[in-house]
Amino acid sequence: MTHEEAAGLLGAWALDACEDAEAASVERHLASCADCRVEAASLTRAAAGLGELAAGA
């Protein structure tokens, strides 16, 4: 998986919306790409925040 492909899947990965094989590829990429780890952490926090808002609705 290229950097661009992994970066394009980070939002779906953060929402746990990737297929298993895609998620595994993204996670392998995250192990070696600090920029994507930062972005993934931000997206994961955003996804958690959306979940909290939905739970409170």
Question: Whole-angstrom Cα distance, residue 13 to residue 41?
Answer: 11
Domain boundaries, the chain: 3-56
Q: Would you state the pLDDT for residue 27?
A: 98
Q: Burial code of 4-39, b = ≥16 C-beta within 10 A, e = fewer?
A: eebbebbeebbeeebeeebeebbeebbeebeebeeb
Question: Whole-angstrom Cα distance, residue 12 to residue 22?
Answer: 10
Global pTM reads: 0.85
pLDDT digits 0-9 by tens, 3-57: 999 999 999 999 999 999 999 999 999 999 999 999 999 999 999 988 777 787 6
Q: Would you state the pLDDT for residue 4?
A: 98
Structure tokens, 27:
């996670």
